[in-house]
Amino acid sequence: MSAEIVSLDLRPVLRAGGEPIADIMRVVSRLEPGQGLRLMTTFKPVPLFGLLDKKGFDHAESQLADGEWEVLFTPRPDRRAPAPVRTVAAEDALAASGAEWPAPTRFLDNRDLEQPEPMIRTLAATEQMRPGEVLSVLLDRRPVFLLPELDRRGHLWRGGLEDDGKTYRLSVLIREGRGETQ
């Protein structure tokens, strides 16, 4: 018996510079048991693979002739409710420890890069840093896939739009035990 598939074409949203994660998660939350999801994208959405894996989906991707991607997410038979993701409130955690937010020790400008390159570059930089150091990153948009991954790795972060309304500045405080699942 094959699972029913819900299709979502993200290419128009992505071409317009939009961020489709809210649409994706809304559709995923409405999937009935046994339903799968077919996404059409302008890039290979690698960060989404891990996110939906945690929600009980396997994936199969294929690059289309025009360089775009089709990804099929199918539910695993053992699919169950995902464990809640713990979001770190950086200011609260630092305040509780009595520490102040340190000055950045490393800077990345990840604006004007194709997805998922900003996430890949940011995570690679965190792996090269020591606990207590801070990475400052400039991005074109709020990094919705990156933030849960930073939480999962145990790093603290804070971010927001700059005064220009276009640049998202992210600060990441590298913590002990990075790379471990919490």
CA 131 to chain centre: 22
Pairing of strands 36-41, 5-9: parallel
- Same domain for 166 and 101, yes or no, is yes
**Region 1-14: what's the mean pLDDT?**
80
161, part of any domain: yes
Q: Which amino acid is at 36?
A: G
Q: Which amino acid is at 165?
A: G
- Same domain for 109 and 169, yes or no, is yes
pLDDT tens for 83-118 read 334 444 444 555 555 567 788 999 999 998 887 888
Domains in the chain, number: 2
- Same domain for 60 and 103, yes or no, is no
Q: Which domain holds residue 161?
A: 90-173
Residue 157, domain CATH: 3.30.110.40
116 preceded by a cis bond (ω within 30 of 0)? yes
- Same domain for 21 and 64, yes or no, is yes
15, part of any domain: yes
Q: Which helix (H) or strand (E) holds 158?
A: strand 156-161
- Same domain for 19 and 65, yes or no, is yes
Which is more confidently placed, 38 or 20?
Answer: 38
182, part of any domain: no
180, part of any domain: no
- With CA atoms as reference, report the closest residue to 24 among 8, 11, 12: 8
Q: Which helix (H) or strand (E) holds 57?
A: strand 57-63
